[in-house]
Each structure stands twice: as structure tokens, then as C-alpha cells.
């Protein structure tokens, strides 16, 4: 079975469509949360997700915020202002979709979390120290996470320190050890590579493959600025940071 793993779309339907076209035929989709936030097209992203086969989608912190599950004032000023715009844009159908999302799940023996298995809404797993503390928070061999917008794999190799891998496009991964894997961000990468990021998992071969795909950033930037969303969210798309 071919599984598409995506995260942090952030209302960037153009990037999401580029990922889907690049990935080709897939059997199911696991989205690790933050469908909305930062970008100009929250409703379009929801509509695209609803058409995908065997979709499992998690609740991210930005999704929770537009639904009123967490306080907007928990975000910095630029993120909050973007969320306020998106709350005005969201259709009732999009609200119904986001309102049913869970913050954490287990699918086919794989744990799915937005931030971390320990705190799916807020915790960033960006260091070996934080990753190490999270291995006791899930029971499966593999846990998939998003939230940081950075592709990374943390491997429990049985030694004192974890192995940290920073995969590039085309890199393949297979292991019998336990690991945390972040596919990177579809809609707003922050690893200095502006291309949309995703992972494909071939469950028969048990191979996880990282991918990056280019898309036309300029029209997305124009839409962000036209809506009055802070310009930093448009600028970041060009530089992947």
C-alpha cells in the first residue's frame, strides 16, 4: 500500500496540489495537521483533502485556534493576524471538517501526532533531547509528527544519544528500530528549501521516501498580501524559512 504523508499545509492549496500531482497514484493519505494558518486558501485546502482516498487528518494548533478550541492569544502577532483573516474566510463546510479532527491517532501500527506524541497540539520536536523524552509516549515502532516544518528523523539506536537524520529529496529510509519521522511542510517549509515537502511510505517494502516539489510561489504570495495577512508569511514562501 502506498501512503502519502503530509503536514502543515497552512492554507496553501497551490503547494498541496503540486504535491498530489507529484506523488501520483496513492492508496491513502495521512495529514498530520495544520490544514489552515498563514496562507490564503483554507477552504480550498479542505475541499482538496475531502477528495483524497482513505484520508486520516489530525488537528493542528492552527486548526484548533480557528475553531476556538484554543485562545488566539497563544500565538505570536503575525500568526494571530493570519488566523483572524482565515476565521472570516472559513465556510461552514470547512468548520465542520476541522471540528471533527482528532489531535492524535494510530493507523496501521503507526502513531500519528501533530506536535509530539506527548503533546500533539503544542510541543515541537526539534532536538534529540526532546525526541528522547517522547519515545515513552508512544507504543508503536514509528511515530509521525509535524509542527516544526522541518524534515527530520530521530532514531532510537539503543545508545545513549539518538541518531538524528536530516533527509533530502529522494532519500529512502527503512529501519527495524523505533523512530520519530517528520515529513516537513507542504505549505510553508522552514528548512531553507522553499519546495513543498512530503513523504511516501510503501508499507509492503517498508520504505519511507522523502520528496520535494517546486510550485509557483508568486501567485500565493499575491493572495496572502491581498487578504491583509502579514507579509512575513508571503516572504517565507520564497526562502523556505
Domain-located, residue 31: yes
Q: Is residue 43 part of a domain?
A: yes
Q: How many domains does the chain have?
A: 1
The C-alpha cell that represents 200 in the structure block: 511516501
What's the pLDDT at 171? 96
Determine the angle formed by the axes of helices 92-99 and 42-50, rounding to 10 degrees. 60
Instruction: Kindly state whether residue 125 falls inside one of the protein's structural domains.
Output: no
User: Which pLDDT score is estimated for 2?
Assistant: 97
pLDDT of 113 reads: 98
Three-state DSSP at 207 gives strand
Task: Report pLDDT for 200.
Answer: 98
Angstrom distance (rounded) from CA 177 to CA 160: 15
Q: Is 151 helix (H, G, I), strand (E, B) or coil?
A: coil
CATH of residue 100: 3.60.21.10
In a domain, 164, yes or no: no
Cα 154 to chain centroid, rounded: 17
**Dihedral over Cα of 227, 232, 238, 241: its sign:** negative
In order of 3, 88, 159, 181, the CA distances from 198 in angstroms are 11, 29, 29, 11
Instruction: Give, to the nearest 10 degrees, the angle between helix 77-89 and helix 42-50.
Output: 60
34 falls within a domain: yes
* pLDDT of 161: 75
CA angle (3 as vertex; 164, 181 as ends), nearest 5? 15
Residue 119 makes CB contacts below 8 A (sequence gap 6+) with none
Is 91 part of a structural domain of the chain?
A: yes
Range of the domain at 225: 2-108+181-239
Side-chain-side CA neighbours of 229 within 13 Å: the count stands at: 31
Q: Phi first, then psi: what are they for 132, rounded to 5°?
A: -60, -40
> In this structure, what C-alpha cell is assigned to residue 205?
517494502
Q: Phi and psi at residue 209, in whole multiples of 5°?
A: -120, 130
Question: Mean pLDDT per segment of 10 residues, for the chain of length 241 residues?
Answer: 97 98 98 97 98 98 95 92 94 97 96 97 95 96 98 88 93 95 98 97 96 98 97 95 87
Q: Three-state DSSP class for 214?
A: coil
What the block records as the C-alpha cell of 162 is: 539518538
Residues pairing with 164 in the sheet: 154
Amino acid at each position: 500500500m502506498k501512503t502519502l504523508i503530509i503536514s502543515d499545509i497552512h492554507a496553501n492549496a497551490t503547494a498541496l496540489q503540486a504535491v498530489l500531482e507529484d506523488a501520483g497514484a496513492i492508496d491513502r493519505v495521512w495529514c498530520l495537521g495544520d490544514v489552515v494558518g498563514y496562507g490564503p486558501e483554507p477552504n480550498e485546502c479542505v475541499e482538496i483533502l475531502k477528495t483524497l482516498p482513505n484520508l486520516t487528518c489530525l488537528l493542528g494548533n492552527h486548526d484548533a485556534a480557528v475553531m476556538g478550541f484554543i485562545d488566539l492569544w497563544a500565538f505570536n502577532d503575525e500568526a494571530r493576524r493570519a488566523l483572524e483573516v482565515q476565521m472570516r474566510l472559513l465556510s461552514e463546510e470547512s468548520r465542520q471538517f476541522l471540528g471533527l479532527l482528532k489531535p492524535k491517532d494510530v493507523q496501521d501500527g503507526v502513531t500519528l501526532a501533530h506536535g509530539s506524541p506527548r503533546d500533539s497540539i503544542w510541543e515541537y520536536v526539534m532536538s534529540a533531547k526532546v525526541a528522547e523524552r517522547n519515545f515513552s509516549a508512544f507504543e508503536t515502532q514509528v511515530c509521525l509528527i509535524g509542527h516544526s516544518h522541518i524534515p527530520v528523523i530521530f532514531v532510537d539506536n539503543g545508545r545513549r544519544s539518538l541518531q538524528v537524520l536530516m533527509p533530502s529529496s529522494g532519500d529512502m529510509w527503512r529501519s527495524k528500530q523505533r523512530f520519530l519521522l517528520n515529513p516537513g511542510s507542504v505549505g510553508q517549509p522552514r528548512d531553507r528549501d522553499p519546495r513543498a515537502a512530503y513523504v511516501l511510505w510503501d508499507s509492503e517494502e517498508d520504505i519511507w521516501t522523502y520528496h520535494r516539489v517546486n510550485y509557483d510561489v508568486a501567485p500565493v504570495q499575491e493572495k496572502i498580501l491581498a487578504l491583509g495577512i502579514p507579509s512575513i508569511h508571503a516572504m517565507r514562501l520564497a526562502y523556505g524559512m
